[in-house]
Amino acid sequence: MHKKIKLHLLVNLVAGNNHGKITYAKFAKLLKDSQISFRAQISQYPGEIIKLAKKYANNNHSEDEILVIIGGDGSFNQALNGVKKSLHPNTPLAYLPAGSGNDFARAAKLTTDPQKFLNRLLNNRKIEKVDCGSYSSQKENVIKHYFVNNYGIGFDANVVHQSNNQKMKKILNKIHLGNLIYGLNVINVLQKQDTFTATVTGADGIAHIFHDAYLVTTTNHPYFGGGVPILPKANLHSHVLDTVIVEKPSLRKFVFLFAKMLKDGSHVTDSHFHYIEGKEIRVNVKKPEYTQIDGEDTDKMAHSIQFMIDNFYLIR
Ligand SMILES: Nc1ncnc2c1ncn2[C@@H]1O[C@H](COP(=O)(O)OP(=O)(O)OP(=O)(O)O)[C@@H](O)[C@H]1O
Protein backbone atom coordinates (compact mmCIF):
# COMPACT_ATOMS: atom_id res chain seq x y z
CA MET A 1 0.00 0.00 0.00
CA HIS A 2 1.28 3.45 -0.94
CA LYS A 3 -1.27 5.15 1.25
CA LYS A 4 1.09 6.94 3.58
CA ILE A 5 -0.07 10.38 2.56
CA LYS A 6 -2.75 12.19 4.51
CA LEU A 7 -4.69 14.92 2.76
CA HIS A 8 -6.36 17.95 4.22
CA LEU A 9 -8.85 19.35 1.68
CA LEU A 10 -10.21 22.90 1.65
CA VAL A 11 -13.12 22.98 -0.76
CA ASN A 12 -15.20 25.72 -2.40
CA LEU A 13 -18.16 23.79 -3.78
CA VAL A 14 -19.58 26.75 -5.73
CA ALA A 15 -16.38 27.64 -7.62
CA GLY A 16 -16.64 27.35 -11.40
CA ASN A 17 -20.45 27.49 -11.42
CA ASN A 18 -20.58 24.55 -8.95
CA HIS A 19 -17.78 22.69 -10.66
CA GLY A 20 -16.12 22.57 -7.24
CA LYS A 21 -18.83 20.18 -6.10
CA ILE A 22 -18.30 17.82 -9.04
CA THR A 23 -14.50 17.87 -8.73
CA TYR A 24 -14.69 17.29 -4.99
CA ALA A 25 -17.11 14.37 -5.38
CA LYS A 26 -14.81 12.69 -7.96
CA PHE A 27 -11.69 13.27 -5.92
CA ALA A 28 -13.24 12.09 -2.64
CA LYS A 29 -14.40 8.89 -4.35
CA LEU A 30 -10.90 8.24 -5.69
CA LEU A 31 -9.45 8.76 -2.22
CA LYS A 32 -11.96 6.41 -0.62
CA ASP A 33 -11.48 3.77 -3.30
CA SER A 34 -7.71 3.97 -2.80
CA GLN A 35 -8.04 4.01 1.01
CA ILE A 36 -6.20 7.27 1.33
CA SER A 37 -6.73 9.09 4.55
CA PHE A 38 -8.27 12.55 4.18
CA ARG A 39 -10.19 15.24 5.98
CA ALA A 40 -12.32 17.74 4.06
CA GLN A 41 -13.46 21.17 5.17
CA ILE A 42 -16.16 22.73 3.01
CA SER A 43 -15.84 26.49 3.03
CA GLN A 44 -19.17 28.20 3.70
CA TYR A 45 -18.62 31.84 2.77
CA PRO A 46 -16.18 34.04 0.78
CA GLY A 47 -13.01 34.49 2.79
CA GLU A 48 -13.39 31.40 4.98
CA ILE A 49 -10.56 29.62 3.16
CA ILE A 50 -8.17 32.32 4.47
CA LYS A 51 -9.09 31.34 8.02
CA LEU A 52 -9.03 27.60 7.39
CA ALA A 53 -5.66 27.68 5.61
CA LYS A 54 -4.14 29.88 8.29
CA LYS A 55 -5.36 27.55 11.02
CA TYR A 56 -3.91 24.54 9.20
CA ALA A 57 -0.55 26.26 8.65
CA ASN A 58 -0.33 27.46 12.24
CA ASN A 59 0.18 23.82 13.23
CA ASN A 60 3.15 21.57 12.51
CA HIS A 61 2.65 18.91 9.83
CA SER A 62 4.72 15.96 8.68
CA GLU A 63 5.95 15.70 5.07
CA ASP A 64 3.22 13.15 4.36
CA GLU A 65 0.44 15.58 5.21
CA ILE A 66 -0.70 17.63 2.23
CA LEU A 67 -2.93 20.69 2.11
CA VAL A 68 -5.08 20.56 -1.05
CA ILE A 69 -7.27 23.40 -2.31
CA ILE A 70 -10.25 22.60 -4.54
CA GLY A 71 -11.76 25.72 -6.10
CA GLY A 72 -11.01 28.54 -8.52
CA ASP A 73 -8.39 31.26 -8.58
CA GLY A 74 -10.24 33.18 -5.86
CA SER A 75 -10.19 30.17 -3.53
CA PHE A 76 -6.51 29.53 -4.19
CA ASN A 77 -5.79 33.21 -3.52
CA GLN A 78 -7.51 32.88 -0.13
CA ALA A 79 -5.49 29.78 0.75
CA LEU A 80 -2.23 31.50 -0.16
CA ASN A 81 -3.13 34.53 1.96
CA GLY A 82 -4.02 32.29 4.91
CA VAL A 83 -0.76 30.34 4.70
CA LYS A 84 1.41 33.44 4.19
CA LYS A 85 -0.10 35.07 7.28
CA SER A 86 0.31 31.95 9.44
CA LEU A 87 3.08 30.85 11.79
CA HIS A 88 4.50 28.65 8.98
CA PRO A 89 4.30 30.77 5.80
CA ASN A 90 6.34 28.24 3.83
CA THR A 91 3.67 25.54 4.22
CA PRO A 92 3.29 24.05 0.70
CA LEU A 93 -0.03 24.07 -1.14
CA ALA A 94 -1.41 21.58 -3.63
CA TYR A 95 -4.16 22.79 -5.95
CA LEU A 96 -6.85 20.90 -7.84
CA PRO A 97 -8.41 23.62 -10.04
CA ALA A 98 -12.21 23.72 -10.29
CA GLY A 99 -12.86 27.34 -11.25
CA SER A 100 -14.25 28.89 -14.38
CA GLY A 101 -11.10 30.80 -15.39
CA ASN A 102 -8.31 28.73 -13.80
CA ASP A 103 -5.65 31.22 -14.88
CA PHE A 104 -3.13 30.18 -12.25
CA ALA A 105 -3.49 26.52 -13.20
CA ARG A 106 -2.99 27.46 -16.86
CA ALA A 107 0.20 29.39 -16.05
CA ALA A 108 1.57 26.64 -13.79
CA LYS A 109 0.40 23.87 -16.17
CA LEU A 110 -1.55 22.06 -13.46
CA THR A 111 -3.95 19.26 -14.27
CA THR A 112 -7.67 19.63 -13.63
CA ASP A 113 -8.14 15.85 -13.76
CA PRO A 114 -8.59 14.41 -10.23
CA GLN A 115 -7.10 11.02 -11.20
CA LYS A 116 -3.94 12.54 -12.73
CA PHE A 117 -3.66 14.90 -9.78
CA LEU A 118 -3.83 11.98 -7.33
CA ASN A 119 -1.33 9.89 -9.31
CA ARG A 120 1.11 12.73 -9.17
CA LEU A 121 0.67 13.22 -5.42
CA LEU A 122 1.27 9.51 -4.86
CA ASN A 123 4.05 8.80 -7.33
CA ASN A 124 6.10 11.82 -8.24
CA ARG A 125 5.15 14.89 -6.30
CA LYS A 126 7.61 17.75 -6.07
CA ILE A 127 7.66 20.93 -4.09
CA GLU A 128 8.41 23.90 -6.29
CA LYS A 129 9.04 27.50 -5.29
CA VAL A 130 6.92 29.74 -7.54
CA ASP A 131 6.38 33.48 -7.75
CA CYS A 132 3.41 35.36 -6.39
CA GLY A 133 2.88 39.07 -5.93
CA SER A 134 2.33 41.04 -2.76
CA TYR A 135 0.63 44.41 -2.50
CA SER A 136 0.18 46.91 0.24
CA SER A 137 -1.30 50.35 0.40
CA GLN A 138 1.54 52.86 0.58
CA LYS A 139 -0.40 54.55 3.38
CA GLU A 140 -0.66 51.43 5.55
CA ASN A 141 2.52 49.97 4.10
CA VAL A 142 2.71 47.20 6.70
CA ILE A 143 -0.23 44.98 5.84
CA LYS A 144 0.70 42.88 2.84
CA HIS A 145 -1.76 40.81 0.87
CA TYR A 146 -0.92 38.36 -1.90
CA PHE A 147 -2.09 37.50 -5.40
CA VAL A 148 -1.27 34.55 -7.64
CA ASN A 149 -2.46 35.99 -10.97
CA ASN A 150 -2.93 39.72 -11.19
CA TYR A 151 -4.10 42.96 -9.64
CA GLY A 152 -6.05 44.89 -12.27
CA ILE A 153 -7.27 48.50 -12.28
CA GLY A 154 -9.66 49.83 -14.94
CA PHE A 155 -11.00 47.87 -17.89
CA ASP A 156 -10.49 44.25 -16.73
CA ALA A 157 -11.70 45.09 -13.21
CA ASN A 158 -14.77 46.81 -14.64
CA VAL A 159 -15.60 43.68 -16.69
CA VAL A 160 -15.27 41.50 -13.57
CA HIS A 161 -17.34 43.96 -11.54
CA GLN A 162 -20.18 44.13 -14.06
CA SER A 163 -20.16 40.34 -14.45
CA ASN A 164 -20.09 39.47 -10.75
CA ASN A 165 -22.92 41.86 -10.00
CA GLN A 166 -25.42 40.91 -12.65
CA LYS A 167 -28.52 38.86 -12.00
CA MET A 168 -28.06 37.49 -15.49
CA LYS A 169 -24.90 35.69 -14.30
CA LYS A 170 -26.90 33.62 -11.82
CA ILE A 171 -29.38 32.69 -14.53
CA LEU A 172 -26.62 31.79 -17.01
CA ASN A 173 -24.77 29.86 -14.26
CA LYS A 174 -27.82 27.65 -13.86
CA ILE A 175 -27.58 26.63 -17.48
CA HIS A 176 -23.75 26.39 -17.28
CA LEU A 177 -23.19 29.45 -19.47
CA GLY A 178 -21.88 31.71 -16.70
CA ASN A 179 -18.74 32.60 -18.62
CA LEU A 180 -20.75 34.09 -21.46
CA ILE A 181 -21.39 37.09 -19.27
CA TYR A 182 -17.71 38.11 -19.40
CA GLY A 183 -17.76 38.19 -23.20
CA LEU A 184 -20.94 40.26 -23.21
CA ASN A 185 -19.49 42.66 -20.67
CA VAL A 186 -16.28 43.23 -22.64
CA ILE A 187 -18.46 44.94 -25.25
CA ASN A 188 -20.52 46.75 -22.61
CA VAL A 189 -17.46 47.99 -20.68
CA LEU A 190 -15.66 49.10 -23.84
CA GLN A 191 -18.12 52.00 -23.98
CA LYS A 192 -18.34 52.59 -20.21
CA GLN A 193 -14.73 52.50 -19.03
CA ASP A 194 -13.25 55.98 -18.63
CA THR A 195 -9.57 56.88 -18.89
CA PHE A 196 -7.48 57.86 -15.91
CA THR A 197 -3.99 59.06 -15.06
CA ALA A 198 -1.67 56.37 -13.73
CA THR A 199 1.84 56.88 -12.40
CA VAL A 200 3.92 53.69 -12.48
CA THR A 201 7.34 53.67 -10.84
CA GLY A 202 9.78 50.80 -11.32
CA ALA A 203 12.61 49.72 -9.02
CA ASP A 204 14.90 52.32 -10.68
CA GLY A 205 12.73 55.05 -9.18
CA ILE A 206 11.74 56.48 -12.56
CA ALA A 207 8.08 57.52 -12.63
CA HIS A 208 6.20 56.89 -15.88
CA ILE A 209 3.00 58.91 -16.23
CA PHE A 210 0.14 57.73 -18.46
CA HIS A 211 -2.67 60.26 -18.84
CA ASP A 212 -4.98 58.10 -20.94
CA ALA A 213 -4.69 54.80 -19.08
CA TYR A 214 -7.54 52.39 -19.64
CA LEU A 215 -6.17 49.28 -17.97
CA VAL A 216 -3.32 49.05 -15.46
CA THR A 217 -2.74 45.44 -14.50
CA THR A 218 0.14 44.11 -12.46
CA THR A 219 0.64 40.49 -13.36
CA ASN A 220 2.56 37.45 -12.15
CA HIS A 221 2.13 35.41 -15.36
CA PRO A 222 0.68 35.78 -18.88
CA TYR A 223 -3.04 35.30 -18.28
CA PHE A 224 -6.13 37.07 -17.05
CA GLY A 225 -9.86 36.77 -17.67
CA GLY A 226 -9.81 33.00 -18.20
CA GLY A 227 -6.88 32.50 -20.58
CA VAL A 228 -6.42 35.91 -22.21
CA PRO A 229 -2.63 36.16 -22.75
CA ILE A 230 -2.09 39.80 -21.87
CA LEU A 231 1.71 39.46 -21.49
CA PRO A 232 3.01 36.23 -23.07
CA LYS A 233 6.58 36.65 -21.83
CA ALA A 234 5.63 36.77 -18.12
CA ASN A 235 6.17 33.58 -16.15
CA LEU A 236 5.99 32.16 -12.66
CA HIS A 237 9.76 31.79 -12.31
CA SER A 238 10.96 35.19 -13.53
CA HIS A 239 11.20 36.67 -10.01
CA VAL A 240 9.73 39.93 -11.31
CA LEU A 241 6.25 41.37 -11.67
CA ASP A 242 5.06 43.31 -14.72
CA THR A 243 2.68 46.24 -14.72
CA VAL A 244 0.89 46.38 -18.06
CA ILE A 245 -0.58 49.74 -19.09
CA VAL A 246 -2.97 49.97 -22.02
CA GLU A 247 -3.95 53.45 -23.20
CA LYS A 248 -7.45 53.89 -24.54
CA PRO A 249 -7.64 52.68 -28.12
CA SER A 250 -10.44 53.37 -30.60
CA LEU A 251 -12.94 50.53 -30.98
CA ARG A 252 -11.30 49.55 -34.26
CA LYS A 253 -7.87 49.55 -32.68
CA PHE A 254 -9.16 47.52 -29.72
CA VAL A 255 -10.44 44.78 -32.01
CA PHE A 256 -7.16 44.86 -33.95
CA LEU A 257 -5.09 44.60 -30.74
CA PHE A 258 -7.26 41.80 -29.42
CA ALA A 259 -6.85 39.85 -32.65
CA LYS A 260 -3.06 40.33 -32.52
CA MET A 261 -3.01 39.17 -28.92
CA LEU A 262 -4.84 35.96 -29.74
CA LYS A 263 -2.88 35.37 -32.97
CA ASP A 264 0.78 35.80 -31.99
CA GLY A 265 1.16 38.12 -29.00
CA SER A 266 2.41 40.95 -31.21
CA HIS A 267 0.04 43.42 -29.49
CA VAL A 268 2.90 44.06 -27.04
CA THR A 269 4.74 46.17 -29.63
CA ASP A 270 1.77 48.49 -30.22
CA SER A 271 2.10 52.14 -29.19
CA HIS A 272 -0.97 51.83 -26.89
CA PHE A 273 0.64 48.97 -24.95
CA HIS A 274 3.36 49.41 -22.31
CA TYR A 275 4.79 47.31 -19.50
CA ILE A 276 7.13 48.02 -16.65
CA GLU A 277 8.94 45.15 -15.01
CA GLY A 278 10.49 44.94 -11.57
CA LYS A 279 10.83 43.25 -8.22
CA GLU A 280 9.11 46.33 -6.79
CA ILE A 281 6.62 48.53 -8.62
CA ARG A 282 4.56 51.44 -7.35
CA VAL A 283 1.22 52.33 -8.93
CA ASN A 284 -0.71 55.50 -8.20
CA VAL A 285 -4.18 56.21 -9.57
CA LYS A 286 -5.97 59.11 -7.88
CA LYS A 287 -9.32 58.72 -9.64
CA PRO A 288 -11.51 56.00 -8.09
CA GLU A 289 -11.52 52.94 -10.37
CA TYR A 290 -12.62 49.33 -10.06
CA THR A 291 -10.05 46.74 -9.04
CA GLN A 292 -9.87 42.99 -9.57
CA ILE A 293 -7.53 40.81 -7.56
CA ASP A 294 -7.31 37.25 -8.90
CA GLY A 295 -10.81 37.71 -10.34
CA GLU A 296 -12.48 39.15 -7.23
CA ASP A 297 -13.69 42.74 -7.64
CA THR A 298 -13.79 45.64 -5.19
CA ASP A 299 -15.73 48.90 -5.08
CA LYS A 300 -14.26 51.85 -6.97
CA MET A 301 -11.30 53.31 -5.12
CA ALA A 302 -8.15 55.38 -5.58
CA HIS A 303 -4.87 53.46 -5.54
CA SER A 304 -1.51 54.07 -4.02
CA ILE A 305 -0.06 50.59 -4.11
CA GLN A 306 3.36 49.12 -3.51
CA PHE A 307 3.78 45.79 -5.34
CA MET A 308 6.60 43.37 -4.58
CA ILE A 309 7.55 40.00 -5.96
CA ASP A 310 7.26 37.17 -3.45
CA ASN A 311 7.03 33.38 -3.59
CA PHE A 312 5.37 30.33 -2.12
CA TYR A 313 5.72 26.56 -2.21
CA LEU A 314 3.53 24.66 -4.66
CA ILE A 315 3.16 20.87 -4.55
CA ARG A 316 2.97 19.51 -8.08
N1 LIG B 1 -14.19 30.62 0.80
C2 LIG B 1 -15.31 30.52 0.08
N3 LIG B 1 -16.27 29.66 0.48
C4 LIG B 1 -17.41 29.54 -0.22
N5 LIG B 1 -17.71 30.28 -1.31
C6 LIG B 1 -16.78 31.14 -1.74
C7 LIG B 1 -15.55 31.29 -1.08
N8 LIG B 1 -14.82 32.22 -1.73
C9 LIG B 1 -15.54 32.62 -2.78
N10 LIG B 1 -16.73 31.99 -2.79
C11 LIG B 1 -17.74 32.07 -3.83
O12 LIG B 1 -17.24 31.22 -4.86
C13 LIG B 1 -17.30 31.80 -6.14
C14 LIG B 1 -15.95 32.06 -6.73
O15 LIG B 1 -14.97 31.18 -6.30
P16 LIG B 1 -13.60 31.02 -7.07
O17 LIG B 1 -12.99 32.36 -7.36
O18 LIG B 1 -12.76 30.06 -6.32
O19 LIG B 1 -14.07 30.34 -8.40
P20 LIG B 1 -14.26 30.91 -9.87
O21 LIG B 1 -14.54 32.37 -9.83
O22 LIG B 1 -15.20 30.03 -10.56
O23 LIG B 1 -12.84 30.60 -10.41
P24 LIG B 1 -11.86 31.40 -11.37
O25 LIG B 1 -11.44 32.60 -10.56
O26 LIG B 1 -10.76 30.40 -11.61
O27 LIG B 1 -12.68 31.75 -12.56
C28 LIG B 1 -18.10 33.07 -5.92
O29 LIG B 1 -19.47 32.74 -6.11
C30 LIG B 1 -17.85 33.43 -4.46
O31 LIG B 1 -18.88 34.19 -3.89
Ligand 1 centre from 136 Cα, in Å? 23
Among 91, 125, 159, give the residue marking a domain's end. Answer: 125
- Give domain status of residue 24, yes or no: yes
Pocket test for ligand 1, best of 12, 18, 73 (most atoms within 8 A of CB): 12
Same-domain status, 28 and 78: yes
178-182 LR contacts (CB < 8 Å, sep 24+): 178/17, 178/100, 179/100, 179/226, 182/225, 182/226
Q: What is the ipTM of this complex?
A: 0.95
Ligand 1 centre from 112 Cα, in Å? 16
3-class DSSP state of 217: strand
Residue nearest to atom 10 of ligand 1 (CA): 46
Question: Which residues, given as ranges, of the chain have pLDDT below 50?
Answer: 1
Ligand 1 centre from 101 Cα, in Å? 11
- Give domain status of residue 1, yes or no: no
Same-domain status, 148 and 120: no
What DSSP element (H or E) covers 281? strand 280-293
Range of the domain at 44: 6-125
Residue 182 bridge partners (DSSP): none
Same-domain status, 109 and 191: no
pLDDT at position 4 is 86
Nearest partner of 121 among 131, 129, 110, judged by Cα: 110
Ligand 1 centre from 46 Cα, in Å? 7
Residue nearest to atom 9 of ligand 1 (CA): 46
- Cβ 40 vs Cβ 71: under 8 Å: no
- Give domain status of residue 316, yes or no: no
Same-domain status, 189 and 268: yes
Same-domain status, 114 and 184: no
Residue nearest to atom 6 of ligand 1 (CA): 46
Ligand 1 centre from 88 Cα, in Å? 25
Domain count, the chain: 2
The CATH number of the domain where 238 resides is what? 2.60.200.40
Among 125, 153, 188, give the residue marking a domain's end. Answer: 125
Residue nearest to atom 12 of ligand 1 (CA): 15
Q: Which residues surround ligand 1 with Cβ inside 6 Å? A: 12, 14-16, 43-49, 71-75, 78, 99-102, 295
Ligand 1 centre from 263 Cα, in Å? 30
Ligand 1 atom nearest residue 295's Cα: 25
pLDDT at position 1 is 44
- Cβ 79 vs Cβ 69: under 8 Å: yes
- For the stretch 211-260, pLDDT in tens is 999 999 999 999 998 899 999 999 999 999 999 999 988 888 888 888 88
Ligand 1 centre from 164 Cα, in Å? 11
Same-domain status, 83 and 173: no
Instruction: Report the distance separating Cα 294 and Cα 148, nearest Å.
Output: 7
- Give domain status of residue 315, yes or no: no
Task: Provide the whole-model pTM.
Answer: 0.93
Same-domain status, 100 and 221: no
- Cβ 289 vs Cβ 303: under 8 Å: yes
Pocket test for ligand 1, best of 73, 75, 106, 151 (most atoms within 8 A of CB): 75
- Cβ 311 vs Cβ 129: under 8 Å: yes
Residue 278 bridge partners (DSSP): 241
- Cβ 194 vs Cβ 283: under 8 Å: no
Burial class (CB in 10 A: 0-12, 13-18, 19+), 158: buried
Ligand 1 centre from 41 Cα, in Å? 15
- Cβ 78 vs Cβ 53: under 8 Å: yes
Ligand 1 centre from 203 Cα, in Å? 34
Residue nearest to atom 7 of ligand 1 (CA): 46
Instruction: Report the distance separating Cα 196 and Cα 285, nearest Å.
Output: 7
Pocket test for ligand 1, best of 9, 10, 14, 51 (most atoms within 8 A of CB): 14
The CATH number of the domain where 46 resides is what? 3.40.50.10330
- For the stretch 18-33, pLDDT in tens is 999 999 999 999 999 9
